[in-house]
Amino acid sequence: MTKNKFYVTTPIYYVNDNPHIGHAYTTILADVLARFHRGMGDDVFFLTGLDEHGQKVQQAAEKRALTPQAHCDDLAPRFSGLWEKLEISHDDFIRTTEPRHVKVVQAVLQAVYEKGDIYQKEYEGLYSVAEERFITEKEAESGQFRDVRRIQEKNWFFRMSRYQERLVRYIEEHPGFIRPEHRKNEMLGFLRQPLSDLCISRPKTRLNWGIEIPFDRDYVTYVWFDALINYITAPGYLADNARFGHWWPVSVHLIGKDILTTHCVYWTTMLFALDLPLPETIFAHGWWLIAESKMSKSVGNVVNPLDLVGQYGVDAVRYYLMAEMVLGADSNFTPENFIKRYNSDLANDFGNLLNRVSGLIGKYFDSVVPAALELSADDTVIMGQGAALGGRVEALLKEYKVDAAINEIMNLVRAVNKYMEVQAPWKLAKTDLPAAGRVLYVATEALRLAAVLLGAVMPEKSGQVLDVLGARGTGLAWGGLKSGTRLTAHPPLFPRIETDPSRAAGSSVKGAGA
């Protein structure tokens, strides 16, 4: 049977940043999608990595009296180490300083140059050192760009304007290409104005930390032209044609809304120039706000994911980030929101259901899963909801509605908790032990299904639930829980968090980078 392929990427994060909740969100989101598709039997490739070139890296290295490469080698483990702690299951971690990437970037430059899509001209304009790009007078007036200087120099340019009309037609003809819909409309609005060509070089007299341009050794490549190519380097472009042909085009680029233009305009026109298919989907999610404000190192409100993980555990953090944000909109992080959702969803609903069924099966059935007898009408309602759950979750995740998919799973958990209250198997056990066993089987089987589906979001805790139930490796068909299985003892899955505000997540979180 031929497997479907699913290739998902995060942005490659700038090595000079410290990883914060925004980085963690995008990477966990990619991981959840990758794990879910693997669970469906799809062939999955999940790529993340680091962008290590540019002026800020060079300047930071000089301040530390290190070479830029040594500086990058020292900082890279901050990201790779965090991904390990967050249970990120990436298949490749690319760094733009790797020889495999340098080789591809130079080959792309040479090919686009020979095609006539790269030319040289004298240019004078405003340049933002902080953003490492030329900006317009209007952008400079906005006050959003730091360290702006007027520069006059000769540079190499990519004929991005050549592909403007073709890109507009493509966006209009492919409704799911840019998501959500309002981001697509934003890009079409941007493309109604004349599209300038893209400056893709920096003279070595000003910046030497970058990939050398193969046809002019006096220049290095503009960091964005270099960085975007990582998406084709990793699956084997120019190195393994069969592998690249299998994976490309990418299924989805997950990005923050602040890099929408670079991905939807720079990257797509570069792919047009290379005669390569465009991504199936570019999905721009919103920002995590901290108490209604954008995270900022200067303000000191940047949330370090390691602080949250250290206090509440990795799966609680993964769950909160995935359940709280509607993909495409901004979301507001506060310690109070985190604790409220943790206590409500994880402690009271999911964790409590495990405690109830395992405790009652332990008390009345010697910790052995009771027999699955003929179901009553109330039992059948739960079975129907559980049996249909996998299909509903799959449909939502294919539309990138991760929060809605999680809510569907938790609706089953809540329904089972209510079912337990109504059926009261602790009372039934005194007069009709087999009937109590039937109720407990239904409730525990529904819990198993929820744990299987939550495995993509909370791999550790969901695995613990399945281990308690002796159901590791079971699927989404109703009846995967085997009668006669002995349950194992377990500690509380999610102990409740005390709501003393002085002990809340943000009270000890310090700024960790922008």
pLDDT digit string, tens, across residues 384-408: 999 999 999 999 999 999 999 999 9
Contacts of residue 215, Cβ cutoff 8 Å, sequence gap at least 6:
109, 110, 113
Between the CA of residue 492 and those of 47, 367, 468, 497, what are the distances in Å?
35, 16, 12, 12
The answer, yes or no, to whether residue 202 has pLDDT greater than 80, is: yes
For residue 140, give both structure tokens: 């400079």
- Using a pLDDT cut of 70, give the percent of the chain over it: 94
Residue 244 CA, chain-centre distance (Å), reads: 22
Rounded to 5°, the CA angle 7-9-10 comes to 165
CA 52 – CA 72 distance, rounded (Å): 6
pLDDT at site 299: 58
Question: Band of the pLDDT at 152, cuts 50, 70, 90?
Answer: confident
Query: Can you tell me the distance from the alpha carbon of 454 to that of 487, in angstroms, rounded to the nearest whole number?
Result: 20
- The confidence band for 242, taking pLDDT boundaries of 50, 70 and 90, is very high
pLDDT at 293: 67
Question: Mind listing the pLDDT tens digit for each residue in 289-303?
Answer: 876 666 565 556 567
Among the ranges 17-26, 298-307, 378-387, which has the highest mean pLDDT value?
Answer: 378-387
CB 150 within 8 A of CB 127: yes
- Name all domains of the chain by residue range, CATH numbers in brackets: 334-468 (1.10.730.10)
The mean pLDDT value for 30-52 works out to 97
Listing DSSP states for 23-55 in one string gives HHHHHHHHHHHHHHHHHTT-EEEEEEEEE--SH
Query: Is residue 127's pLDDT more than 60?
Result: yes
Interacting residues of 472 by C-beta distance below 8 A, sequence separation 6+:
463, 466
Q: Give the span between the Cα atoms of 289 and 222, in whole angstroms.
A: 30
What separation in angstroms does the CA of 44 have from each of 4, 30, 34, 189, 307?
Answer: 8, 11, 6, 34, 30
Q: What's the pLDDT band for 308 if we cut at 50, 70, 90?
A: confident
**Of residues 259, 360, 274, the one with CA closest to residue 14:** 259
| Mean confidence (pLDDT) of the chain | 92
Indicate the pLDDT class of residue 146, thresholds 50, 70 and 90. confident
Lowest mean pLDDT among 94-103, 368-377, 500-509: 500-509
At 253, is the pLDDT very low, low, confident or very high (cuts 50, 70, 90)? very high
CA–CA distance, 330 with 21 (Å, rounded to integer) = 13
Q: Convert the pLDDT of each residue in 466-491 to its tens digit.
A: 999 999 999 999 999 999 999 999 99
Q: What is the arithmetic mean of pLDDT over 39-57?
A: 95
The lowest-confidence range among 127-141, 321-335, 386-400 is 127-141
For residue 123, the model assigns a pLDDT of 82
Q: How far apart are CA 432 and CA 420, in angstroms?
A: 15
pTM given for the model: 0.92
Taking alpha carbons only, the member of 340, 337, 335, 333 closest to residue 292 is 333
Q: Give the per-residue pLDDT at 511.
A: 25
Report which of residues 181 and 502 the model is more confident about.
Answer: 181
Cβ 328 vs Cβ 285: under 8 Å:
yes
Strand locations in 292-382 (E) = 293-294, 331-333
Q: Which pLDDT does position 508 carry in this prediction?
A: 31
> What per-residue confidence (pLDDT) applies to 506?
40
What single letter denotes the amino acid at residue 269?
T
* pLDDT value for 513: 25
pLDDT in tens, 175-189: 999 999 999 999 999
Q: For 503-510, what is the mean pLDDT?
A: 37
